[in-house]
Structure 1
Amino acid sequence: MEENNNLVESFENSLLSDDKKDLIATVGDTSIDAVVSNGALDGIPILGILNGIYKVGKNIQTLRLCKKVAKFLYDTNSISQSDKERFIKEYTEINKEKGTELLLNVIDKIDNINKIECLANLMKAKVNGEISIENFVRLCLVIEKLPYVDFCNLEKYKQDYSEVGTDDILLSAGVIYNSVIDANDGDKYKLNYIGKLLLRYGIGIDTDVNAPTPVSMPNMVSAKVVGDTLNFEEL
C-alpha cells in the first residue's frame, strides 16, 4: 500500500511540476525505449521509482507502465501547470476519487503505448474547452476497451459502413450506432457522438461532431388490411 501511495504521489509531482519540463522534453529527441532503458529520465520522480522497481524485479508490466507514463508526460508537456492543476481538480470532483491516482490507473490499463497520445490529446481537448470532463471520463473507458487496430478503422465509419468483426468491437466500445437497418443488403453503422469526439479530438481526424445521427430503414414493409386479407407493401 505504501509503495502504491508513493507511486501516486510521485506521478502527481511529475505531472504537475514545471521543474522537469526541459528534461521531459528530451523524450522527443530519441525513442521511449532508449530513454527508459538508459535511465536518462530517472530524475523525474515517477520514472525513477518505476525504473528502480523494474531493475529489482524485472517485471514486464512495470517496464511497460514506465514507458507509458514517460510517453504521457511528454505528450502533455505543453500543457501549463495551472491548466493541469485545474484539470486534476475537475477530474477528482467528477469521480469522487483522487484524480492523479485515477489517471495513473487509466494509463496502466491502456494496452498499447500508441494509445497514450490519444489520451493526452483528449486531456488537451478538455483543457481547451472542446470536450466536457464527463466525456473525458467516458472516452477514457473507450480507449481502454478499443483495440489499437480498430483506432485505425474509426474513420471508415464517418459514412454508413460495415465490416465483419470490426462492427461488433466498435459497437461494444460504444462508438458507433446502427445507421442503416436493411434486411436485404445488410445493416450499416456510423460514428455516434462519442465516436466523433474520439476521432476528432483523440485521433485528430476532422469530423463534424454536431452532425445529426439519422437512422435509415430501406426496404421496410408496412401492413394494411384489404377486405379480410392482410397485405404487405414496401414503403
Structure 2
Amino acid sequence: MTGYEYIKQKRIEKGYTIRQFGKVVNITPRMISYYEAGEKPIEHISLNKMNKMFDVLEIDIEDFFDCYYPYKHDIDLQIVKWRCDNPLECDFQIVKKKIYARLAQIKSRGTIEESKLKQIYDMYDDFFCNEQRKFFPISMEEYNKFVNPILYQIKLNMSGGLPENDISRSIMIAFYQSGYKIKDVSKICGIASQNLNYYINGKYDYGSLHVDTALKLCYLLKLDFKILFESCEKSN
C-alpha cells in the first residue's frame, strides 16, 4: 500500500466522503482527490494542512513518513558526505588561534556585555590555556564538550541575539550548535537558503512550510518535530 492509498483508506474508515473531508480540513475536494490518487505530492502539503488532515484521520505524521516516505536514510548519507567534505579541524593550536581571533573580533565590536564576554573568555581559558593539552589533537568528545559551547556563544553573540519567534529561536540554537552553515542545511533539507532565511526571520509563516522539509530540518538539527511545530494551528 502506498501513502496516498493509506490516506484514502483512513478517510473512508472515518466515514467521510471526499467533499465532507475537504470541508472539514479546508482543502478543496479536487486537491483531496489529487492527493489520494498520487497526482499531487503528499510530502509537499503545508504543515497547517497536514496537521489538520492527519489530526482528523488520527494519523501520526512522523510514523506515516517513516513508513511511506522514508527520508532519514538519505539525510544520513548526505550528513556523511558533508562530514567528508568538511573534516573537523582537530589540531589544538590551529583551533585555539581561530577561536581567539573570533573572540577578539566580537570584543572589538563592543556590542557584548562585559560579564558575558568574560564568561566566554573563561570557557576559552579553561580548555585552551591548559599547557598539558596543547600538544595533543582534540578528540571528538572534547570538541563537543569544550569547543562547541565556545563556538555556540561566539556565533550567538556575533549574530546579535536570537529571534523572538519560538520556532525560529529553537532552530537557530540548534543551528549554532550543529556546525552547519545555512547553505548546508538548505541543501540537505531541500529548501532554498533565501526561503529558509525568510522563515527564520518571520517573512514566511511556518505553517506554509512543506511537511517533508520540516521533518528533514528536525531530523538534521535533532529537534522534536511535534514540539517544534505544535504552534502551527490545526485549524488554519
- Using the size of structure 2 for normalisation, the TM-score is 0.27
The structure with the greater share of residues assigned to helix is: 2
The structure with the greater share of residues assigned to strand is: 1
Greater relative CO (CA pairs within 8 A, separation 6+) = 2
